[in-house]
Structure 1
Amino acid sequence: MSIDDQIENRISKAKEGTIFFADDFSDIGSQSAIHTTLHRLEKRKVLSRVSHGIYAKPKVSELLNQEILPTAEEVALAIAKRDKAKLLPSGSYAQYALGISTQTPLKLVYYTDGKARTIKVGNRTIQFKRTTPKNLALKGEVGRLVVQALRDIGKDKLTSKEEKKILELLKNEDIKDLKHDIALAPQWIAEIMQKHYNGSNKFLQTKNQSKKGNI
């Protein structure tokens, strides 16, 4: 079976929208042969090019009757999975992910323990920045975003509306994860997160006392 046939056969078994990297086919042939094949398959619309060395199996929206390419976020997660690297959204993207900002950022910035790089996906940019293990040690799905969003906003620029929104979001956080992340956050951010933690503890204490009283 030719290199073209082997690669096309592997693609045919994948779901629509699956992201492929040129390296995924390194067991089939040389780097130059693989890139040549992928270019041919792109011309035949077997694959769609997402970025340099990154492709996707075409997925068509029945409603819009047009091809849907993977989002920049999906590409970032695929890269992290391939590299077995951790990701932490930062900056304006962390604000957007939390709903503090409604403006879709054209530049996604992630902290990572993987390779630092910048990738262009359509009209958006993904930037991976190396960071310390401490930053990546944050556990909470909400807390980790809160820390990065507040860092981006800044202590003196945080509005009462934004703080209220953050405290509301922290209600969805696991208390154990929140306690863990408070210990790692910068002092002024930890103080904000502590407000919700203290409130939750008071609620739990009242609930426990109520249960004891009913025994």
Structure 2
Amino acid sequence: MGKTHSEIENTLKRKKKGNLIFPTDFRGMGSEAAIKMALNRLNKENIIKRIAHGIYLIPKIDPLFGAISPSPEEVAEALAKKEKVNIKPTGAYALHKLGLTTQVPTKLVYLTDGSPREIKMGKTIIKFKATTSKKLAMAGPYSSLIIQALEELGTDNIDEQTESKIKALLRKESPALLLNDLKLAPAKINDYIIKLL
């Protein structure tokens, strides 16, 4: 067992169970190859669990439910925090997050100012799609998601039920944030929301 392996193992003992870890967490403890090898070995020894390429978990066992794994959302957020980039749900995933669809998407698409990439987590795919800073400047917890969702849906074929749900969500938004986001929205979506309200 090499020096890198034992240094990583000691570091892991001080981390909380359920924490996500990345190879870059151990920079300075050895070469990239040595860190990769150590993590592979620790994965085989069940000290950590590989949940996707380059993403590991310190297993947490619940007495009732057994091993607890993080959700794809938690993985995406941890990754964004680690890489110091911004992410925002878009498309079908934005619709689901708003409760506008009950279908759970198997692909979680996020807009990011980081580099585009895809992560496969079991049957779920997390996709980071590079975007403009304008799209990420939307700040409202509801309005920013609604605008992303409407870009996916289009404004022409929305049924009355979905429309009233959108209206109710927009009413929860702070007027200042809504105004900010509408300025950044495509013209067609801005007009649609104004008419709706």
Q: Secondary structure at the match of 2:127?
A: strand
Say whether 1:61 aligns with 2:70: no
The aligned counterpart of 2:18 is 17
Residue 2 of structure 1 pairs with residue 3 of structure 2: yes
Is there any run of 5+ residues in structure 2 with no aligned partner, and where? none
- Counterpart for residue 112 of structure 2: 112
TM-score (norm 1): 0.86
Moved more, 1-10 or 108-117: 1-10
Deviations 1:151-193 (A, max 9, x none): 1111211111111101111222121111111111122322343
SS in 2 for 1:46: coil
Equivalence for 2:161: 161
**Alignment RMSD, CA only?**
1.5
Q: How far apart, in 2, do the equivalents of 1:183 and 1:153 lie? A: 20
Structure-2 separation of matches of 1:41 and 1:165: 48
Aligned partners of 2:109 and 2:127 also within 8 Å: yes
Pairing 1:1-215 to 2, within 5 Å after superposition = 2-64=3-65, 66-194=66-194
Deviation at 1:100, TM superposition (A): 0.3
2:155–2:192 Cα contact (<8 Å) kept = no
- Aligned mates of 2:64, 2:187 — CA distance in 1: 49
Partner letter of residue 191 of structure 1?
D
Task: State the alpha-carbon separation in 1 of the partners of residues 145 and 34 from structure 2.
Answer: 42
Normalised by the length of structure 2, the TM-score is 0.94
Identity level (%): 42
For the residue of structure 1 that corresponds to 2:158, the secondary structure is coil
CA distance in 2, matches of 1:8, 1:194: 56
2:109 counterpart SS class: strand
Q: Which protein shows a greater Rg? A: 1
Whole-Å Cα distance in 2 between the matches of residues 174 and 60 of structure 1? 40
SS in 2 for 1:151: helix
Superposed displacement of residue 113, structure 1: 0.6
In structure 1, distance between residues paired with 2:113 and 2:148: 16
